[in-house]
Chain A
Amino acid sequence: MEILQGLWDGFSVALAPANLLWCFVGVFLGTVVGILPGLGPPATIAMLLPLTFSMNPTSAIIMLAGIYYGAKYGGSTTSILMNVPGESASVVTCIDGYQMAKKGRAGAALGIAAIASFVAGTVGVLGLMLVAPPLAKFALSFSSPEYFALMSLGLALVVLLAGRSIIKALLAALVGLWIASVGTDLFSTTSRFTFGQMELLSGIDFVVVAIGVFALGEVLANMESREDTPLLQVPKGLKNLLPTWQDIKDCRFAFANGAIVGFLVGTLPGGGSTIASFLSYGLEKAVSRRREQFGTGVIEGVAAPEGANNSETGGALVPLLTLGIPGSGTTAILLAALVLWGFKPGPLFIPEHPDLFWGLVVSMYIGNVMLLVLNLPLVPLFAQVLRTPAYVLYPLILGVSLVGVYTVSGSMFDLMLLLVFGLLGYLMRKLDYPAAPLILGLALGAGMERALRQSLMMSQGELSILVSRPISAVMLSLAVLILLIPLFGKFNAWRLRALEQ
C-alpha cells in the first residue's frame, strides 16, 4: 500500500511539466554524452552542477540522474559501429557487437542494445523501488573476502572468453593483471612499474587500454589490406535494420540475466558496471546452447552486457539513497550534488524526503521510455556510418579514439599510451591472442588484489577467511567449476575418440 501511495505521489511529481522537461533534457544529454567516447556522465554532471544551484532540487536530481542512465544507452554505439568502447562498461559489447556490424547486422545490434537497456533499466528501477532497504542490508554483508570471490568468479570467465587456445587467453589475462598493478600501491604507497614517470603514479586508465587494443588494433590490422571497397555491408530498408522477432526471442534469457546480474552487482559499493557487464556476458555464454559461436557476432552477447550496464544504475542508487554510500564515480558526484543542495543523504533520506525519492523513481520509468523512443529511430541513422568507404571509416575511427582518450584526461601522455596499446592490439591480432581476456584481467586486477590483501589483513594472514564465509565460499566454488569446464570438454572429446576406436 505504501508503495502504491508513493508511486501515486511520484507520478504527481514526475509528471509536472517542468520535471518532464528536465527529465527529457537529462536523458537527451545523457544519450549524446554516451555516444561520444571519453566524455562520461561524471564529467558532464560535474560541469552542469553549478547550473543546478538555482534549480528546484527535485528537478535537478531528475535531470542529473537522466544523464547518468541516459549515457548508458548511447555507450554501445561506438562499441558496435567502430570497436571503440566509449566507457569501461561497454568494452564487452565490442566483442560480439562489432562482429555483428561486420556481418551487416549493426542495426540489429544497436536495436537490441536499446531494447535490452530499456528492459533491464526498467527492472533496475523496479528493484530500486521494491527492495532497496533490505537489499542494501544484504550488500553490507559483502566485504573484502566476498569481493575477492566475486572478482575470481569474473576472472574465471577468461576460459569462456578464450579463442582457440586457452594458454594464449591465460597469457593475455596475465598481461592485463600486470597492467592493473602499475601505479602507486594503496597499502604501502610504493610505486610499482612506473619507470620514473609521474603520470604512471595513479596507474593506467582502463579506457586508454581498451580503446587502444580494440579500436586502434583493428584500424592497424585493416591498413594492411589494400582493397578500396567498403568492408562492411549495410542492408537496405528500414525493416532490415532493426532486430527481428527471432532476435528478441533469442535474447529472452539475456534480458533477465542482464537485468538481475546488473542490479545485484550495482548494489554492492565495490561493484561497478564493468564487472556487471563482464559477469552477465560470461553467464550468458556459460548457459548458451551455441556457446562456441560467442565472439563471432551473437546477439545475446550484446543484449546481456548492455542490459546489465543499465540495470546497474538502479542498483547503484540503492546504497546511495538508502545509506548515503556512493559506489562509483557518478554516484559520488550525485552525493556531492545532494549535499550542495542542502540535503543530508543517509539512512533517513528516503523517509524524510519521500517526494524526492518517489519523484526520481517515477521519472526514471518515464526517462527509460523516452530513451527507447529517442534511441530506436537513431539506429538506422547510425548504421549508415558503416556505408562510408574504408579510407574514410578507419581514419574516422582513429580520430574518434584519439579525441575520446584526450577528453578523459587532457594529457599527451595518455595519447602516447594509446598508441602503444594500439600496437599491442595489432600484434595480438597478428599472433592470434584474444583481446578480451587482457581487458578482463585489467578490469578486475586492481580490485581483486586489493580485496585479497584486505581479507588477509582482516584475518591476520589466515587464508581460510576466503572459504569460511558462506557467500565467498559459494562464489569461489563456482569459479573453480567454470575453470574446469574446458577440462570436461577435453575429457569428453577423449572419451568419444576412445569409444570410436
Chain B
Amino acid sequence: MGIRSGVLLLAAIAVLPQTVLAQGFKPTRTVDLVVHTGPGGGSDVLARAIAVIAEKEKLLPVRMVVINKPGGNSAVAAAHLAEKRGDPHTIGLFTGVWLQTPLVSAEAKVTLRDLTPIARLVLEPAVIAVKADAPYKTLGDFIEAAKKNPGQLKQSGGSNTSRDNVVRQLLQKSTGARWAYISFPGGGERIAALIGGHVNMMVIEPEEAGEHIRAGNLRVLAQVSEHRLPAFPGVPTLKEAGFDVPVVPQVRGMVAPPGIPKANIDYWEDFCRRLTRTASWRKYIADNQFEDGYQNAADLAKFYDEFTDRMRGILNDAGVKTVR
C-alpha cells in the first residue's frame, strides 16, 4: 500500500463518522438505561438482558449500563428521566407501574406523557389458575360458585392497581359475581397462598404457572390475552370462554427524557426495532413466555392515552381514588 492510498484511507475513515452524523443521531458515550427497581427486580433483569443482547448483537456503538433508581413506585425513576431533559445518552425502561402510579399518587408528578415515549417492547399475558383439586373446571364454574357465595371466594394478587385486580373488576362488573381480593407484595407469596389452599384463584404469569400445571398442582381456566398462547393451546381466551371483557395488557417498553430532537427519537425507535428482531431477544421472549409487543413511538403515545383513560375508569369503579 502506497502512501497515497494510505492517506486516502485515513481520509475516508475521517469522513465516515461525519456522514453518519449527517444522517442523524448516534450515541458517543456510554448510554444509561434507567430502571425503577433495585438490582434483581423484574425491570432490572430485563434491562441487563437488553444490555447483553445489545453488546452481543452489536446494536450500539457504545456500551449500555443499567442505572437503578428505585423508590416511589417508579416515581423516582420517572422524575430522574424528567430531570435529564434533552440528554441524548439516557433512556429508561417503563412498566405498567409507571402508568398507574401517577394516576393514584399525587406525589408522583411525572407521567409517561411528560417523557418521550420511544417504543413498547413486551406484552406479558396472564392465565387464570385454580388449584388442580378445585371443583371449577371452567371460568364459568368459578363465576357461578362466586355468585352462589358472594364474597366468599378469594383471589390472591398484587396491589389493588395491579392487572390482577383490574381483571377481577372487569369480570365482576360483566357478570355480577363478587369475590374477595387479597393483596400480597411478593409473587412467591401469591402462588404459595393458592397452592396452600388459602385462596381459590389467581391471575398468574404463564411462565410461573407452567411448571405447577405440569406437576399437577394447578389448573388453568382461561387466558388473559387476545390469542391463545403457544404453551396453552387447549385453554380458551377470556372472549372464547364467553367473557367479553377488554384484555388488559401488562406492558414493558422504552422511554427517553423530554425535549430530545426527532433524530434521537428515531434512533432509539430503530434500536428497539432492531433489538426485537434479534434471535437472542426472541429466545428471551419465548423463555419467559412473553408476547412480542413492539409498537413505535407514535402508537405507544396513543396506547398510553387509551390505557390511562380505561384504567382511570376501572380504578374509579373499584373505589380507588385517582388524582389525575
Q: Does A400 contact B (CB under 8 A)?
A: no
- Minimum CB–CB distance for B4 against chain A, Å: 44
Indicate whether A197 sits within 8 Å of B187 (C-beta atoms), given known contacts A42-B40, A50-B51. Answer: no
**Distance in Å: Cβ of B149 to nearest Cβ of chain A:** 11
Question: B30-53 CB contact bits vs A (8 Å, 1 = yes)?
Answer: 000000001110101100110110
For chain A, the count of residues having a C-beta within 8 Å of the partner chain is 63
Cα A324 to Cα B151 in complex, Å, equals 30
CB-based contact B288/A326 at 8 Å = no
Tell me if B109 counts as interface (CB < 8 A to partner A): yes
Q: Are A49 and B48 in contact (CB under 8 A)?
A: yes
Q: How far is the CA of A413 from the CA of B69 in the complex (A)?
A: 12
Least Cβ–Cβ distance between A37 and chain B, in angstroms: 16
Contact B160 A187 (CB under 8 A): yes
Chain B min CB distance to A48 (Å): 10
Interface status of A339 (Cβ within 8 A of chain B)? yes
| Contact of B266 with A by CB under 8 A | no
Distance, CA A329 to CA B185, complexed state (A) = 12
Chain B positions within 8 Å of A409 at CB level: 38, 68, 70-71
Complex contact B159–A189 (CB within 8 A): yes
Question: CA A144 – CA B186 in complex, angstroms?
Answer: 13
Which of A186, A201, A410 has the most chain B CB within a 10 Å cutoff?
A201
Question: Given A325-B191, A326-B188, A458-B198: A45 and B40 within 8 A (CB)?
Answer: yes
Q: Does A342 contact B (CB under 8 A)?
A: yes
Q: Give per-residue flags for B276-308: 1 if the beta carbon is below 8 A from chain A beta carbons, else 0.
A: 000000001001100000000000000000000
Q: Report yes or no: A319 in contact with B192, Cβ–Cβ below 8 A.
A: yes
A residues near B68, Cβ cutoff 8 Å: 409-410
CA distance A319 to B187 in the complex (A): 13
> What residues of chain B lie closer than 8 Å to A346, measured between beta carbons?
210-212, 214-215
Docked complex Cα distance between A436 and B118 (Å):
48
Of B51, B72, B151, B199, the most chain A CB neighbours within 10 A belong to B72
State whether A197 and B107 are in contact (beta carbons under 8 Å apart), knowing that A336-B45, A348-B214, A458-B180 are contacts in the complex: yes
- Give Cα A384–Cα B306 distance, bound, in whole angstroms: 63
Stretch from A135-143, A283-291, A296-304 contacting the other chain: A135-143
Known: A333-B45, A347-B217, A454-B183. A47 touches B51 (CB 8 A): no
B320 touches A186 (CB 8 A): no
Query: What 7 pairs across the A-B complex have the smallest Cβ distances?
Result: A346-B211, A46-B39, A333-B40, A347-B215, A140-B196, A143-B198, A43-B39
For the complex with contacts A189-B320, A409-B38, 19 further pairs of A-B residues with Cβ separation under 8 Å are A46-B48, A144-B182, A186-B185, A190-B321, A196-B106, A198-B71, A198-B109, A200-B107, A330-B40, A332-B186, A332-B187, A333-B40, A333-B45, A346-B210, A349-B211, A408-B38, A409-B68, A410-B68, A450-B183
Q: List 18 A-B contacts (CB under 8 A).
A: A46-B48, A50-B51, A141-B196, A142-B192, A186-B159, A186-B185, A187-B160, A189-B160, A198-B71, A199-B71, A331-B188, A332-B188, A339-B207, A346-B214, A349-B211, A410-B68, A450-B183, A458-B198
